[in-house]
Amino acid sequence: MGDKVSHILCVALILAVPGRTSATLIPSISISAEAASELSSETAVVNSVNGAGMLSGNYRRTHSNQRSGMWLSAEGGGGNSANHPFGLDCSTWVMYEFDQPYQLGAMRVYNYNESRHATAGLQNVYIHYSLVGGGDAGAWTNLGGPRGMFTFSQASGRYGERGKDEADFHGAFASYVLLTAAEENGNFGDTYYGLAEVQFDEVPEPATLLLLGFGSMSLLRKRRQG
């Protein structure tokens, strides 16, 4: 038993060191989605987070190229400053809401992957996150990236597409994540906008890991004294 407790202690203390965190995938049941528009119920925005088009494997699974497993906007994207969550001029937007605040690690993006229509995938994107959401721009933080935005890769349109892009939240706490397509080059030249799947990792708080380590140390000491 002492060896097991010692092992737990070592793992906890190692993981508590900055940069040594173990990420876990936030389940899709814990995430809801909203978008500026949807082409139809077949291409609802919930498809971009519910794993509808994902194929077999672990969290790095691949995606199909069937439209019914992805989100696709109405023509033109449907986004504008009036319907954007905090008033940005845009082509379109997608917002993800978690069931509780999470300390976020990486966000993986599987871009729109419909065969012969992958140009609808998002390209230049602003990524914002917030604990409270709402229409106050001051409550949102721009994750950054080059020129204040991220540039996603175009998908191939082939069956079995892997997620090509990641954005790292570096442990920021968030209840909402908002993706806003830029007015210029918001996609790859299409009149529609879409995403196949977005996945979020949660990273454990170092303080929590330290508490686990200290608890294990106390248990080990008591067993040795006994």
Q: Are 69 and 53 in contact (CB under 8 A)?
A: yes
Looking at the fold, whether 57 and 14 belong to one and the same domain comes out as: no
Tens digits of residue pLDDT in 2-49: 443 443 344 344 444 444 457 899 999 999 999 999 999 999 999 999
Looking at the fold, whether 65 and 167 belong to one and the same domain comes out as: yes
Looking at the fold, whether 166 and 214 belong to one and the same domain comes out as: no
- Best CA proximity match to 184, nearest among 126, 144, 129, 135: 126
Looking at the fold, whether 158 and 217 belong to one and the same domain comes out as: no
Q: Does the pTM of the predicted model rise above 0.85?
A: no
Distance CA 126, CA 88 (A): 10
Angle at 159 between CA 154 and CA 160, to 5 degrees: 85
Q: Which residue has the tokens 């929590």?
A: 208
Domain of residue 50, CATH code: 2.60.120.260
Number of domains observed in the structure of the chain? 2
SS3 99: strand
The whole domain housing 193 covers 23-203
Q: Is the pLDDT of residue 83 over 60?
A: yes
pLDDT in the model for residue 147: 77
Tens digits of residue pLDDT in 155-192: 999 999 999 999 999 999 999 999 999 999 999 999 99
Please name the amino acid found at residue 149: M
Looking at the fold, whether 175 and 76 belong to one and the same domain comes out as: yes
Provide φ and ψ at 18, rounded to 5°.
-50, 135
Looking at the fold, whether 197 and 129 belong to one and the same domain comes out as: yes
Residue 45 is classified by DSSP as G
Looking at the fold, whether 2 and 112 belong to one and the same domain comes out as: no
pLDDT in the model for residue 61: 78
pLDDT in the model for residue 56: 75
Looking at the fold, whether 3 and 105 belong to one and the same domain comes out as: no
